[in-house]
Structure formats: C-alpha cells, structure tokens
C-alpha cells in the first residue's frame, strides 16, 4: 500500500523520481525521499515553521517524553498484525513515528509505516531521521490514501480528523490517539502566565469508534538548561500566543519543573 493521488485518488506509480496516476497527475520526489501531496498551497508556510520543528527535535531527543514514545510503540505492536500497515496522521518531525517503525522492524520486518504532516519542514526532518518511512506532505482533513488501507492509525497532539481516520482504517482497524491531560505542562505555564489554566482534554466519544483501552501517563520532570527550556516553549502552542514580557520572563530561567500528563486512548473502528 502507498499514498494515492490527492486529486483523483488514483493509484500512484513510480517513474524515476516521480509518481504519476493513471490520469496524468504527477508529483516529484524530494531529495529526502518524501512527496508533496498537499493540494492547497496558498498562503505560503503551512504548519510549524523551521524554528519550531528544530526546537521540537532537540527537546524530544533529550528524552523527556520517552515514556509516551514507549507506550505508543507498545500499543501499535499489540494492535498491528504482522505485515500490517500503520499511518501516523500528523507526524511532526517523526520522533514517535521512528520509534513505531523501529519496533515493528524488530518484530517482523514486513510491516510498513507511513506518515504525513502539513509542514514540509517537519516531513523533511522525519525523512532524514528514518529513510524507511513512507512520507508525504498532506493535510489530516484530506488524507491522500485509499479507503480501508491501514490497520492502525496513530495521532499524537495532532488535529483530530475523525471522518478521514475512520475512512482510511481497515475493517476493525484501530486508532491510537494521544493528547495532553489537564495538568500537562502546568509548571511551564506557571512560569509564563500569572493565571495559568488547566487544559481541556481532547477525549471524546467518537462516532464510528469503540473505546477499547485508555492509558494515563503522569510524572514530573525538571527541564535543565536555558536552551532546553526554550525548546520546550517553542514546541508548544504557547509560542504563538505569548507576549514579549512573558516570553522574556521564561527565557530568564535556567530550569523549569513541570507536570507531564499524557492520555493515550485506543479505539476500534465500528461498522453498522
């Protein structure tokens, strides 16, 4: 299985460094190995910019979110049959996708992992990290994949495009959805804002899915070093909406202690 033409959903065949569908729509292969299948290219930059992607890569490589990477990989191993197909819907720079692919490769070596993100910069980073991944630039709300083409879909801190995820999942396929809990990063927010608020969890009863498992990961970390503190801040949505004074207050710190709270819900696709 591979990605399909985002224009007509026809099968894409390889012709050198290009993929083309039967109707003649063609897409060039980037030197890093991914394809840009994003149809709407108006408005310039899409998704996270280079600074945010670099910050996320640097912070995640420090290991603070290692428990989440392990839990997601464990769930995917449990749920995905040997030789199965996995899609990371909104993979970012590929930290979790890489962990999933390596776990599956050790198990059977025949399962395939695909991923996409709306940020071309993020996909480029992911492609460089693991060339075995099948990657594309695309939107969660218009996934360039055939119906019922994946055994497992994962979504980690990404927009929840429920209908598209349901469409691309195979019969009784599974969806692993990770999102922040109420107290996630409260220590960081307390260092930025005078009146920090708890998160509103993304958990929901998803139409067309049955909740079959739910994990909660709670722990506290101390992020040491001014660079690491800035990296954490830059990889969060707060980087978009924090004023200069609050940002400067945070950047003056050499360490921040903060709660980490991840929720990992597992759903099975239902049929009427």
The pLDDT-based confidence of 244 (bands split at 50, 70, 90) is very high
Q: What is the tens place of the pLDDT at every residue in 98-110?
A: 999 999 999 999 9
Rounded CA gap, 34 and 7, in Å? 17
The pLDDT-based confidence of 206 (bands split at 50, 70, 90) is confident
Residue 198 CB partners (closer than 8 Å, separation 6+): 182, 183, 186
Lookup result for tokens 């890489």: 98
> Does residue 1 carry a pLDDT above 70?
no
If one compares 20 and 48, the residue with the highest pLDDT of the two is: 20
The candidate with the shortest Cα–Cα distance to 170, out of 35, 79, 90, 73, is 79
Q: What is the tens place of the pLDDT at every residue in 48-89?
A: 889 999 999 999 999 999 999 999 999 999 999 999 999 999
Cα 45 from chain centre: 18
What domains lie within the chain, and their CATH numbers?
Answer: 46-269 (3.40.50.150)
> Does residue 46 carry a pLDDT above 90?
no
CA angle 52, 132, 2 (to 5 degrees): 95
């Amino acid at each position: 299985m591979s990605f399909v033409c985002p224009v007509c959903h026809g099968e894409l065949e390889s012709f050198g460094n290009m993929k083309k569908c039967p109707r003649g729509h063609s897409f060039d292969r980037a030197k890093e190995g991914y394809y840009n299948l994003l149809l709407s290219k108006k408005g310039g930059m899409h998704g996270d910019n280079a600074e945010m992607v670099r910050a996320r890569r640097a912070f995640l490589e420090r290991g603070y979110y290692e428990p989440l990477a392990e839990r997601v990989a464990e769930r995917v191993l449990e749920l995905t049959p040997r030789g199965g197909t996995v899609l990371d819907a909104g993979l970012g720079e590929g930290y979790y996708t890489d962990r999933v692919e390596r776990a599956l490769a050790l198990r059977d070596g025949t399962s395939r992992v695909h991923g996409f993100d709306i940020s071309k910069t993020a996909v480029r980073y992911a492609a460089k990290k693991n060339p075995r991944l099948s990657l594309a630039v695309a939107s969660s709300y218009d996934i360039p994949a055939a119906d019922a083409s994946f055994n497992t879909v994962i979504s980690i801190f990404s927009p929840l495009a429920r209908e598209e995820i349901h469409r691309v999942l195979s019969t009784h396929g599974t969806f692993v959805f990770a999102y922040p809990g109420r107290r996630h990063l409260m220590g960081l927010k307390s260092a930025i804002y005078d009146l920090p608020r708890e998160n509103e969890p993304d958990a929901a009863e998803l139409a067309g899915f049955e909740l079959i498992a739910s994990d909660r990961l709670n722990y506290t970390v101390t992020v040491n070093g001014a660079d690491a503190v800035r990296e954490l801040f830059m990889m969060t949505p707060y980087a978009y909406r924090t004023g200069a004074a609050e940002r400067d207050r945070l950047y003056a710190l050499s360490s921040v202690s903060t709660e980490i709270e991840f929720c990992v819900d597992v759903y099975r696709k239902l049929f009427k």
